[in-house]
Structure 1
Amino acid sequence: MTGTRMSEDGAPALPDPAAVDPAVLATLLARHGWVRRGGPTARYGRWTPPGDSDPGTSVLVPAGGGFDDAVDLLADAVTALSRSHTPSARSILLALTVPGDEIQWRREQPGVPGAVTWEGEERLHEAARAMLSAAAKAARTRAAYFGARLDGWAGDFVQRALVVGPATAGGLTAYTPAPEGRAAVTTLVRALEAMRDAVDYRRVSGGLEAFENAVQSGVSRELVEAVQLLVRGATAAQVSVAWSAAVGTPGGFGDRRIALEFSPGDLPALEEAAELLERIEPAVAVTVVGVVVRLKRGGPAGPGSVRLRVLSGAEVAEVKVRLDDRDYRLAAEAHLTGVPVRVGGRLERRGGFRRLARPHGLELVRLEDAERERLLKTLGEGGQD
């Protein structure tokens, strides 16, 4: 996840008034409880903060961008929000500045109110990253346990998330691209809802079957572990999502902030669920094409282990394979000549789907010279252990 540009006082840079959509600003104000008061409905609306939180603040929002004074009014509105003491004003400015769906993580820790330990802050970031990664994988395909599968896909998604904050100690806000990244966020919401229900069911019935059913909603061992990380050492934890006002609300969801809470009391059920979800994920039969990048065996003859950089056939970056003497020699030849190999087997969950068990049918994959040179440049030189 990457950070957004900040101003000199540490606050996010203000949005360009000329780029602000009045309809989006009005939607954000309403979402955060601001009240529209008076003003000709065809031209503008005056908005004030909820309650009496900041009685001296109001913003004038034009009904559209076609009026001569629209940009001036929007500039005044942005300035008023930047000076407001209302907590939601900052959130509104962030939503205008950073495009995408907003995800917030919070951890309440024992000790001094409003303070957080270094370890707690690091755990918050680690949990958020792990949660986004698990959601991205589940948006691509459902699995009880992913291991190393789809690491590249998930890594790309996490890198496109923009981090803003924390706004307060123990809080972290990220914006994910919308609509292109929305499948991961909707999957995250559905999965966390299913996980919350499964934890409650475990407490009432003593059974874990709800976690198995929740896999179809996007729950995985990785997501369970991310929630564990968020909760452990905290007195309470919350994940909330607000949809991008510019893109609109996805089908099946209401235009409201979604908040899901977890507590230390959930940890026993989550620990059991993590073990269950890894155990029920089956091995996967694959035929992999890859480049031999490592070779290792105890002597000049006999079986040995090789590592393949996967080109196709499995959604992992590398796999380890133990080969008999004949296939090991063939793999060594492929390594020396830079020729890929094709081999069948079963990706096993042990080791995170990084090992290919029961290998069979190892053969060289001949390439044209130009294609082989391109491949070698892409992979770099492989070493030998």
Structure 2
Amino acid sequence: MTETVALKSTRIITPDGCVDGYVIFTNGKIEAVTHNYQGEALDYGDHWLMPGFVDIHVHGWGRGSFAYKGDKNSLVHMSRDLVSSGVTSWLATSGTMPHDFLEYSVKNAAEYISEVTPQAGAEVLGVHMEGPWISPKHLGMQRADCLQAPSVSGFEHFNQLAGGNIRLVTLAPELEGALEMIRHLHAKGITASAGHTDATFDQITAAIEAGLSHFTHAFSAMRGFHHRELGVVGALMYYPDVYAEVAKQSGITIKPQAFDILYRLKGDRRLVLMSDCMGYADFPEGYEFHHYLRQETFRIHNGQLNITAQNGTCQHISPDDWPAISGLEMSFLDSVKNIVDRLENGLVSVARIACHNPAVLAGAEKRKGSLTVGKDADILVLNDDLTLQDVWCRGVKQPLPR
């Protein structure tokens, strides 16, 4: 059955700027962005229409945590809940976890990807493996007891279980075997990213020559900058053609000034926004996690999330309490709100760093990342305060979580 939908607005964000007109899509694919249309349309007035966000680095969100549960139920919850933050497609991001758990996780991701429909919410584009091929010197919140040495065979083992759906790999380029693995990833069209790494500037240079094109959570969990040894941070700033991602813009992960410096260097062309959220409410029963930046400890007890602050006070959150759960971590949309006024072209810039660029790194730029003819109708409707009014995923209007 053919179904054509037209959305009308005076402010549509396209790669060419903001235009007045209609976005027309049929069976979930954009057919036209035009000034001229004579049929029936849903009139959004002066609301913003822009492409949905593509989150290539998200471990969990809302009521799901893929990195810590690894089951299909976690993916179901994340797909449904991510639309509330403006995310319409994403990479299910793992962590440095036990080998058998990673096997279990990527197999579940493959099954979910093969059967999911647009009615399920934000689309899983594939898997981002953050580790286990990382440096013990820059673990961050990763597990030291689950590290593995980089190898092509090790990667292919996981990718076969994932149904060939691994789209991005974070690794430490200085480790033995890493350069060979980077060349392999590059040859297969999979993004290789430097992260949790103690590499020198020269080692990063060799990795870029081998095919490395991205840096995971810039500034965090990597060798810093020194004027005689530029390190990983120096390399990501020095080389103009590599992408660099920054996590949620709360001012905790990185200072606003650090974001501004990186944006001046990378601009709309190579900066990438992502969330790096965890999905605390879906941690396994009994699991305890200390967030060293927030100075809070998260623990699941009898199916309920307990959050203990540094001063000993404890907050108890039910998995059914959506308002509380949705406020546990800064959303993708709230990050956008915190930076949009500092970008060169406002929401047009947002559409590059939060939509187009991550779609490129996920290998999905032919389908995602812009309101362009032939791409999926992943569309956000926002008011002047950038509050979500509607979300469309592959042409299906989504119910927003309550």
Which TM-score applies when normalising by structure 1? 0.22
Answer with 1 or 2: which has the greater Rg.
Answer: 1
Which TM-score applies when normalising by structure 2? 0.22
Bigger share in helix: 1
Structure possessing the higher relative contact order (Cα contacts under 8 Å, 6 or more residues apart): 2
